[in-house]
Structure 1
Amino acid sequence: MKYFIDLHTHTIVSGHAYTTLLENVKQASEIGLKILGTSEHGPKMPGAPHIWYFGNETKIPRKIKDVIVLRGCEANILDCDGNIDIPSEVQNKLDYMIASLHDVCIEPSSVENNTKALLSAMDNPNIHILGHIGNPIFPIDVEAVVDKAKQKNVLIELNNGSLNGAREGSFDNCKNIAQVCKEKQAKVILGTDSHISFDIGNFSKVQKMLDAVNMPEELIMNTDEKKIVEYLKGKGKLENFNLE
């Protein structure tokens, strides 16, 4: 299967990544991606940029080389009420937001509390993607999360980085999440979680998992740039943008 979109990527701005936005775009162009999203960690992550960085992302050109660039962030979920570290006035300036649980920003807890944090985060209409929810240090009620994601039209991320050593023990969890998404016909998006340009667009680990569950192409958002543009427009984003 061919993929044309990668929305979970980081640059040196996140503090623990190793390449610039232009280096990421160059890699995206060379491998044939149509859309690259840049999604730095929210400011509560140690080493992450100041909140002004996110408010100023409108300065990033919409297209660099032959790659469309979407301006996003990976917000940190801070508590069981689903609060995040990006204020609403900045959320409204971004093209998309990933919301994730990171143990330096929220203490790993029980299945009930971890699940509540994700369910509550999805009540924010500016949350479009739940990031790496297969992390074993944050056990969740997968069916409850997928049900709410489908109800709220939030995309479940299947994270290649989680299967590439970033979060040990994620494979079985992620496979189960993929299976539940398939059964419930919930939309998924693949993310590399790249922290260096060489990982941009590399979904090789997650592809093996998708093959194992025989995931239908129509549930995967990365296969056509029109899918993600139409999705975000439906969420009130990219109002003045057209692919043509």
Structure 2
Amino acid sequence: MELLVDLHTHTITSGHAYSTLTENALAASNRGLKLLGMTDHGPSMPGAPDLYHFGNLSIIPDQISGVRILPGVEANITNHEGELDMPLRYLEQLKLILVGLHPICYQGGTSEQNTEAYLKAMENPYTDIMVHPGRPDFEMDLEKIAHASARLNIPLEINNSSLATITEKARARDNCRSIARYMAKYKGPVVLGSDAHFWDRVGEFSEAVELVREVGISDYLILNTSPERVLEYLALRRKQRTDSNQRSIKHTRSIA
């Protein structure tokens, strides 16, 4: 399996990452990657960039060191309703929107509440990919999440950083293995992400690859084996979003 895309990386702008976009792009090029997501944390994360950062991402070159760049965000779920910490007008400008739960941005709740928050965020038309569901910070119904991923065609991430560096690594590995098994069962789309916070981890998927091999996830379910597949998927999401918005406008007019 050849992985040519890393959609989950952070730059120094995230506040707790330590490399520039240029350094990350050069690392991606050296690993043979063709497509790189620049997904710094949304503004509810301490140290994260101001919204002006996201409003100015159009100045980023399309390519750096021969690698195509997708400027985006790792948006934070902020409550049990699955709301994100990014205003709509900024989400509309971004090329890639990852969504996940982080303890400092979301207070947590019961397994049912956490699962519902994750599912509602997954149903958001602006969500492209749901990240690190296997992190042990919040108890969730992982099978229900995997089933929804397949039904909605929203990829779930197998996060290499969760498997390799998170403090509660054993619990994270158990959760990630469960997610991977459910994804293999329901045949939902999968993304392997480095979640790199330093340039030397960009394109590092070894732990995630080992896990998906262990549980038998087919290569065709893994989106980031091909930049073309990723770009086609993102184009489809934007078309679905446009169609959804148009239906909402027509519905509002018919009521009026």
**TM-score by structure 2 length?**
0.90
1:3-22 correspondence to structure 2 within 5 Å: 3-22=3-22
Partner of 1:114: 114
Match of 1:184 among 183, 186, 201: 186
Residues 151, 188 of structure 2: 8 Å contact kept: no
Once the two structures are TM-superposed, the CA of residue 65 in structure 1 deviates from its matched residue by 2.1
| Structure 2 counterpart of 1:67 | 67
Q: Quick one: which amino acid aligns to residue 184 of structure 2?
A: K
Paired letter, 1:82: G
- Picking from 183, 202, 212, the partner of 1:200 is 202
Mind listing any 5+ residue stretches in structure 2 that lack a counterpart?
240-256
Q: 2:248 matched to which residue of 1?
A: none
Aligned residue for 2:83, secondary structure, equals: coil
**Which residue does 1:242 correspond to in 2?**
none
Please tell me the residue identity of whatever aligns with 2:206: S
Aligned to 2:156: 156
Q: Does the 8 A contact of 1:5 with 1:36 survive in 2? A: yes
Which protein is richer in helix relative to its size?
2
May I ask how many residue pairs the two structures share in their alignment?
Answer: 237
**Contact preservation (8 Å) 1:96, 1:126:** no
SS in 2 for 1:186: coil
Residue 4 of structure 2 contacts residue 225 of structure 2 at CA under 8 Å; is this kept in 1? yes
Name the Cα RMSD after superposition.
1.0
Say whether the 8 Å CA contact 1:39–1:74 is kept in structure 2: yes
Cα deviation, 1:113-148, whole Å, max 9, x if unaligned, reads 110101111221110111101111211111211222
TM, length-normalised to structure 1: 0.95
Shift of 1:200: 0.3
Structure 1: distance between partners of 2:187 and 2:149? 11
Q: CA shift at 1:167, angstroms?
A: 4.8
Structure-1 separation of matches of 2:227 and 2:151: 23
Counterpart CA distance in 2 for 1:205 and 1:129 is: 20
Flag as ranges the 4+ runs of structure 1 deviating above 6 A. none
Q: Hey, what's the Cα distance between the residues in 2 that align with 1:224 and 1:73?
A: 21
**Deviation (angstroms), 1:108:** 2.7
SS in 1 for 2:40: strand
Given that 2:147 and 2:182 are in contact with CA atoms closer than 8 Å, whether structure 1 keeps it comes out as no
Identify which of 170, 173, 179 aligns with 2:172.
Answer: 170
> Which amino acid in structure 2 is aligned with residue 230 of structure 1?
E
State percent identity of aligned pairs.
41
Task: Mark the runs of 5 or more structure 1 residues left unpaired by the alignment.
Answer: 238-244
* Residue number in structure 2 paired with 1:28: 28
